[in-house]
Amino acid sequence: MIEAVIVMGVLGIVFGVGLAYASGKLEVHVDERVERITELLPGGNCGACGFPACRELAEAVVKDHYLINNCRACNEDSWLGICNILGIELGRRKQEIALVACSCDSVDKFEYEGVRTCAAAALVMGGFKACKHACLGFGDCVHACPFSALERRGYQYFVDLRKCIGCGACVDACPRGLIKIVDKSAEVFVRCNSPDKGKVVAKICEKGCIGCKLCEKACEREAIKVENNIAVIDYGLCNGCGACMEACKFGTIVPVFHAEDAVDSTPKVTRTEKKSG
């Protein structure tokens, strides 16, 4: 009986030592910074950063500090707090937004009755719009946005600048490449994506860019240039004076701050009216 007790005691000591040794060897070290960074991240687990959850991003950020740039949803205070935890200085965080580069005024070339998605419609004879670069209007971008920042109003799609973080999900969803990511400080935007010649655009769209260069001539900072038949803004040079917007006769260039109601705030001039006037 005593021998059995001794044997059990010895075995207990051996197993205890073995478990202690294994615990030390197999212990997974958790960096305390992960918890602190996770608390500062938005917690929405939206996946826009490329990781399925905020905690997984936090774990990745501890190993590769610059992955913090992947999260565009955290506010400035959280951003600075995370940088402080990591002991790095990344400077001012670049904030971006998505804007739809189409006024949705192109005429149709045939009636489409297929699957009601932009991706499907784009495959049928290049799309049912006369402008092969125009918005197809079935809202693939709306469904792709994890922040509900895109909405349809009539036949047009607008971005809620209060919700948009420029994650790019809508960009990937648009088969026409109509959605552009620009700096959040941008003041004006070219609401057209067609590189077609002016004569072609004028026949099929009331508000498309015809490459007339009036905006280019009006800009004293040379911040807007007509390239490949369409006006392109260099936001590094643009000071938001609005000269290009005033020079544009058809409302193709719109104010970013009022992008959600640009149709109401831009001149109601049509090419037909210009010819008759």
Provide the residue-wise pLDDT of the chain in tens; the chain has 277 residues: 676 556 565 556 655 555 555 555 555 566 888 999 999 888 888 888 888 889 999 999 889 988 888 888 887 788 888 888 988 877 667 788 999 999 888 999 999 999 999 999 999 999 999 999 999 999 999 999 988 999 888 777 888 888 898 888 999 999 999 999 998 889 999 999 999 999 999 999 999 999 999 999 999 999 999 999 999 999 999 999 999 999 999 999 999 864 444 333 333 333 333 333 3
**Per-residue pLDDT, 271:** 38
Return d(Cα 46, Cα 166) in angstroms, integer.
Answer: 13
Q: Please tell me the number of Cα atoms within 13 Å of 30 on its side-chain side.
A: 9
* Token couple for 93: 């965080």
Q: In order of start, what are the domains of the chain with their CATH numbers?
A: 32-86 (1.10.15.40), 96-268 (3.30.70.20)
Closest CA to 164 of 35, 19, 9, 48: 48
The answer to whether 58 and 38 are in contact (CB under 8 A) is: yes
Q: Which of left, alpha, beta for 157 (phi over 0: left; psi -120 to 50: alpha)? A: beta
Question: Which residues, 6 or more positions from 173, have their beta carbon under 8 angstroms from its beta carbon?
Answer: 118, 119, 140, 141, 143, 144
The answer to whether 98 and 169 are in contact (CB under 8 A) is: no
**Per-residue pLDDT, 272:** 38
Q: Which of left, alpha, beta for 119 (phi over 0: left; psi -120 to 50: alpha)? A: alpha
* CB neighbour class for 16 (10 Å; exposed up to 12, middle 13-18, buried from 19): exposed
Write the CA distances from 218 to 215, 224, 251, integer angstroms: 5, 9, 15
Residue 99, H or E segment: strand 96-100
- Count of other CB atoms within 10 angstroms of residue 222: 10
* Token couple for 241: 């004076």
**Per-residue pLDDT, 274:** 39
* CB neighbour class for 265 (10 Å; exposed up to 12, middle 13-18, buried from 19): middle
The answer to whether 71 and 165 are in contact (CB under 8 A) is: no
Pairing mode of beta strands 230-233, 224-227: antiparallel
**Per-residue pLDDT, 24:** 53
Write the CA distances from 161 to 78, 131, 168, integer angstroms: 20, 27, 14
**Per-residue pLDDT, 181:** 93
Return d(Cα 155, Cα 208) in angstroms, integer.
Answer: 16
